[in-house]
Structure 1
């Protein structure tokens, strides 16, 4: 083995020791989360409603129902998930945390409520993102481990790649009939090779969700030569509390929602941010597919008088912004439907297995090396003892 590959092997092995446990946890939780929507739909009847064909009730009615149940809560976010799905309100209860309230979008009646921290998949998500550590610390622990894992994947690919063409066919398959150590070796190398490209995509998209500099780098790379400034495109307008003239006759949140539905009639899902404590405007996101967060159009309104302040039309968004808004769907594998979810699930499962199979390989080589050294010691002892006897010692 060349000095270069020895250095790579050293980095590959020790970086694996450093990041292995975190990579295993993040990958396993990623597997579980891939199909969380499908699993929850099967488990909970409140996640579907009958499509009556009637118009949705207005957001202000949903807010009113939630305020009746939780008088001190602030309904910061309102969700219309689709014609056969409930509406949802995320109610901020201050020091008590949040309450997630599901309502029938055609009647406005509450059908279920829960504290997000008690939802199994929310817990899984927090483990995936922060390892249940404080977010400011956890995201860095996970982020550094993911970056190390990306380096491990690349170094592993270089170390494994067969030199001779004649060896490539054999190197791309697992020798299931071999001894268990050989099967484990193949599982580590062959599956690692097949998962590398998907694992790198999942890693980069995850880093982009967690760290703005990464998402901004993706944005700038996709927009090279376009002369578009990141802040100009993504900055949210502010409502002006000094200009309250022309106050809307209806609640502004209703005006905003009606306008978004008119401008995006084919959208299946709408998300409304309505945090009264912020100086920002009321915003509505219109999404083409329910529970998918890519390819959205957005509308921002002055929360005092309902004036339209800014439009984020899908067709006018830069490639960089579109790519950034695909990060979640890419990361959980739903960007291409069930097929890409399955691919992401399998790739995540393989990633979880790599620290385990890698450790077994290292352990086997260590034992083999120890056994070899022991044989050498016995041989030397035997020869020395024999010579001593011949010399009459």
Structure 2
């Protein structure tokens, strides 16, 4: 078996193994690319009227969100921007949760949503887990994405024209050809153009599934240099629990983060409920973008600032990992990169289909040749007998 036949064998059978998962993951990726724009157009609660006054304190919004919900807790909060609501993630008994959206200036609840009923969150769950249990689903998706990367590389090897004279023709789709030729070109030519973007989407997706990939990106971007402070896990002094009034520590922490990151458009608050937990605040430079942020960690009982990590002082590896989501959904460069990610995902979804059609056509052609060969042998045999 020649090298090219081995590559073709791997390309074909790996495609059969991962094709369905790749199609599902790619098509859901397409749907998710413009989810913010679509939801903004559909839902009024995602915008509020700008009021030129400070936001209400986190404790006020949290108390409003929890009002009337016995046994509920809230650890995570977002201030999405001056013209957007705040959101409190409320944990209800029996592992249920709600997103409670509030006007950040008045504290009025504008919308309450069960995330399990949000179309785009369902799409995201399918994309990440295929609606399987998280550990199983993420592993199936992760392995399929790795296989897909191998398929893209082997496909590139198979497709690459040997002669320079063939390259111009190979980079274009022959739209006026027979439908089988058009399908062949759609598989090969579009696959070639999408390869680089598809590999970026695949690697960023894998970093969400496998810690080893995320760590590999971190180490590679840092050229192997260690940054111990970024790995440090800070804790609050649990002995202070009950001895210090810490009711409004989150408010104090939020005020400090706002004053130190005055240009930040969005804030995320993580008030860890465990005894040794801390209050973490991320101040994002741009609303609904997660790759450029200043990070603050506070002692949860005294409000003391334990650590501050501005964007400028983060290591290249940490910046790359924090850039992961925005790269994966294509919003890193605004509308242009979203369109590119959408088209690349759409092409990736089409590849298992066009590839299967190519295989089916060759299989039928092979069967036809075998039938003709048998008929020919019979005719020759009869002729010799005569």
TM range (shorter): over 0.9
Counterpart secondary structure, 2:182: helix
CA distance in 2, matches of 1:323, 1:365: 44
Match of 1:217 in 2: 216
What TM-score does the superposition give when structure 1 sets the normalisation length?
0.96
**What secondary structure does 2:219 align onto?**
helix
Q: How many Å apart are 1:383 and its aligned residue?
A: 1.5
Partner of 2:381: 384
Partner of residue 341, structure 1 = 338
Question: Helix, strand or coil for the counterpart of 1:242?
Answer: helix
Kept in 1, the 8 Å contact 2:187–2:354? The answer is yes
Which residue of 2 is the match for residue 201 of structure 1? 200
Which residue does 2:269 correspond to in 1? 272
The verdict on how the C-alpha distance between 1:278 and 1:20 changes in structure 2, with shifts beyond 3 A counting, is farther
Separation of aligned partners in 1, 2:125 and 2:247 = 39
Partner residue, 1:63: 62
Q: Secondary structure at the match of 1:92?
A: strand
Q: Is this contact kept in 2: 1:246–1:305, CA < 8 A?
A: no
Distance 1:98 1:18 in 2: 36
Do 1:129 and 1:138's aligned partners in 2 also have CA atoms closer than 8 Å? yes
Structure 1 position 288 matched with structure 2 position 285: yes
Alignment of 1:168-247 (within 5 A): 168-229=167-228, 232-243=229-240, 247=244
Instruction: Indicate if the aligned counterparts of 2:8 and 2:154 stay in contact, CA closer than 8 A.
Output: yes
Distance 2:246 2:208 in 1: 39
Tell me what 1:16 maps to. Answer: 15
Partner of residue 157, structure 1: 156
Equivalence for 1:123 = 122
Query: What TM-score comes out, normalization by structure 2 length?
Result: 0.97
* Structure 1 moving runs of 4+ over 6 Å: none
| Counterpart secondary structure, 1:301 | strand
Cα distance in 1, alignment partners of residues 176 and 227 from structure 2: 57
Q: Is the 8 A contact 1:58 1:254 kept in 2?
A: yes
Question: Structure 2: any 5+ residue segments left out of the alignment?
Answer: none
CA distance in 2, matches of 1:65, 1:375: 79
User: How far apart are residue 80 of structure 1 and its match?
Assistant: 0.2
- Residue 369 of structure 1 is matched in structure 2 by 366
Return the alpha-carbon distance in structure 2 between the equivalents of residues 143 and 184 of structure 1: 28
- In structure 1, what is the Cα distance between the partners aligned to 2:255 and 2:71? 27
1-structure distance, mates of 2:192, 2:100: 44
Q: What do the CA deviations read for 1:89-118 (whole angstroms, capped 9, x no partner)?
A: 001113141111000011011010011101
User: Residues of 2 paired with 1:35 and 1:367: CA distance?
Assistant: 40
Q: The residue matched to 2:263 in structure 1 has which SS?
A: coil
CA deviations 1:38-82 (Å, max 9, x no partner) are 000011010000001121111000011012142321111110000
Partner in structure 1 of residue 105 of structure 2 = 106
Helix, strand or coil at the partner of 1:18: helix
The DSSP-based 3-state class of the residue aligned with 2:239 is coil
Are 2:253 and 1:256 aligned? Answer: yes
Deviation at 1:241, TM superposition (A): 1.5
Shift of 1:171: 0.1
Matches of 2:321 and 2:135, distance apart in 1: 22
Structure-1 separation of matches of 2:93 and 2:275: 14
Q: Distance in 1 between matches of 2:331 and 2:315?
A: 22
Query: Aligned partners of 1:96 and 1:228: how far apart in 2?
Result: 37
Q: Is the 8 Å Cα contact of residues 27 and 348 (structure 1) preserved in structure 2?
A: yes
Q: Helix, strand or coil: the match of 2:282?
A: strand
CA contact (8 A) 2:72 2:93 kept: yes
Report the alpha carbon displacement of residue 386 of structure 1 after superposing the two structures with TM: 2.2
User: What do you get for the CA RMSD once the two structures are aligned?
Assistant: 1.4
Deviation at 1:142, TM superposition (A): 0.2
1:335-358 Cα deviation digits (max 9, x unpaired): 000000000000000000000000
Q: Tell me the alpha carbon deviations over residues 252-308 of structure 1, each in whole angstroms, 9 at most, x when there is no partner.
A: 110111010001000000000113136320110000000000011110111111111
Answer whether contact 2:88 2:99 (CA < 8 A) is retained.
yes
Helix, strand or coil for the counterpart of 2:225? coil
Match of 2:296 in 1: 299
